[in-house]
């Protein structure tokens, strides 16, 4: 078996309902897995279970094929980058990076060499003697990464590593994180609530909801073919509706066209008539929300208003969905439409 980490039926609760519920998860060697989800979905808890900081109430944790459920963190070979970085404030950058090697009784010569290499890897060779307090947020983040990587862990765990940085630095460090993972060939698990981060970094992503995996697959698969309402809405498919005969489908607002009711209609496209609720100016474009009476009840759909001058709240409009943008939500139960007359 080639799974570096495997969780089998892991369940846990902190008193108020389950945080993890019968969670199965496997990470392959050299893979970059992203756990994505809103806060409280159990993604950080999953990471803590893998690291050994939390012993799950139910289920098994396997590392390298061996049962590690009861192994304390100091005897697992795992490198973790914390959201707060957790650098030791009383030690220099080099001593921080050397900490794990000291615990592993690596000799002084090799230690110095490996610390040097790790700091070069993250581009901080010249700051080895500084204390963490003298570094910027981005530099601290790199030290934390070097400290986790230098011990050559079985798996590198990243707990929202970029969330404390400003937008520009986040993108810069994101590509650096990708490079470090590629160059070291380490298996990595990233926890994030930022879909862009997951899409940019991961080979595979798992969207979590209420301590279970709602969907997993390659970023492209998950992003372009969400299978249920939760994943679709989390990934920005704002329009979820039940189409007669097709069940629940999801459409991104950028793939929906809102036009005046009297504009020439394209007979091949799926379209609905409705009433405009509001128009919102977005700079590059204007979006419109239109309430459409569907057999299953009225639904508010959002899309791009192509000629906003012809639309106004309260006026009739046509909502046009281009066929390739309609994503069927395969996991949602297909509710039969009871009404006779199709829209």
Interface contacts to another protein, rule CB under 8 A: 51-53, 72-76, 78-80, 82-84, 86-90, 99-100, 103-104, 147, 151
CB of 136 to another protein, least distance (A): 18
Residue among 99 and 229 whose Cβ is closer to another protein = 99
SS3 letters across 204-251: EEEEEECCEEEEEECHHHHHHCCCCHHHHHHCCCCEEEEECCCEEEEE
CB of 236 to another protein, least distance (A): 31
Hey, which residues does 205 pair with through a beta bridge? 34, 217
Contacts of 225 (CB under 8 A, 6+ apart): 217, 327
Asked whether 8 and 1 are in contact (CB, 8 A), the reply is no
Residue among 87 and 121 whose Cβ is closer to another protein = 87
CB of 71 to another protein, least distance (A): 12
Asked whether 24 and 8 are in contact (CB, 8 A), the reply is yes
Residue among 153 and 274 whose Cβ is closer to another protein = 153
CB of 260 to another protein, least distance (A): 56
CB of 259 to another protein, least distance (A): 53
Strand order of the β-sheet with 204-209 is 78-81, 155-159, 188-192, 32-36, 204-209, 212-217
Q: Which residue, 124, 335, 163, is CA-closest to 245? A: 335
For residue 109, report the phi and psi dihedrals to the nearest 5 degrees.
-65, -50
Residue among 51 and 235 whose Cβ is closer to another protein = 51
Residue among 52 and 56 whose Cβ is closer to another protein = 52
CB of 16 to another protein, least distance (A): 16
> Which ranges in the chain belong to alpha helices (H)?
43-51, 93-103, 108-121, 137-149, 167-184, 195-201, 219-224, 229-234
Residue among 99 and 233 whose Cβ is closer to another protein = 99
């Amino acid at each position: 078996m080639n799974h570096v980490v495997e969780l089998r039926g892991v369940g846990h609760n902190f008193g108020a309902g389950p945080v993890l519920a019968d969670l199965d998860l496997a990470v392959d060697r050299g893979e970059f897995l992203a756990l994505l989800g809103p806060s409280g979905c159990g993604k950080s808890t999953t990471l803590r279970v893998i690291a050994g900081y939390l012993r799950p109430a139910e289920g098994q944790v396997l590392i390298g094929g061996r049962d590690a459920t009861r192994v304390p963190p100091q005897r697992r070979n795992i490198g973790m980058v914390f959201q707060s970085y957790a650098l030791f404030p009383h030690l220099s950058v080099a001593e921080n990076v050397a900490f794990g090697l000291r615990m592993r009784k690596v000799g002084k010569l090799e230690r110095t060499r490996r610390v040097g290499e790790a700091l070069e890897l993250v581009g901080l060779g010249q700051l080895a003697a500084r204390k963490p307090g003298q570094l910027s947020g981005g530099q601290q983040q790199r030290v934390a990464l070097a400290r986790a990587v230098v011990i050559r862990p079985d798996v590198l765990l990243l707990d929202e590593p970029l969330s404390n940085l400003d937008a520009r630095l986040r993108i810069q460090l994101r590509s650096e994180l990708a490079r470090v993972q590629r160059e070291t060939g380490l298996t990595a698990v990233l926890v994030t609530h930022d879909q862009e981060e997951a899409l940019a970094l991961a080979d595979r992503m798992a969207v979590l909801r209420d301590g279970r995996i709602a969907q997993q697959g390659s970023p492209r698969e998950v992003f372009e073919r969400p299978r249920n309402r939760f994943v679709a809405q989390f990934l920005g498919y704002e329009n979820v509706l039940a189409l007669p005969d097709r069940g629940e489908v999801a459409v991104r607002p950028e793939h929906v066209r809102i036009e005046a009711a009297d504009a020439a209609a394209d007979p091949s496209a799926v379209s609905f008539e409705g009433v405009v609720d509001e128009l919102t100016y977005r700079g590059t474009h204007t979006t419109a929300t239109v309430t459409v009476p569907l057999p299953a009840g009225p639904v508010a759909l959002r899309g791009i208003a192509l000629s906003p001058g012809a639309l106004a709240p309260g006026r009739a409009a046509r909502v046009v969905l281009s066929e390739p943008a309609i994503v069927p939500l395969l996991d949602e139960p297909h509710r039969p439409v009871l009404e006779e007359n199709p829209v």
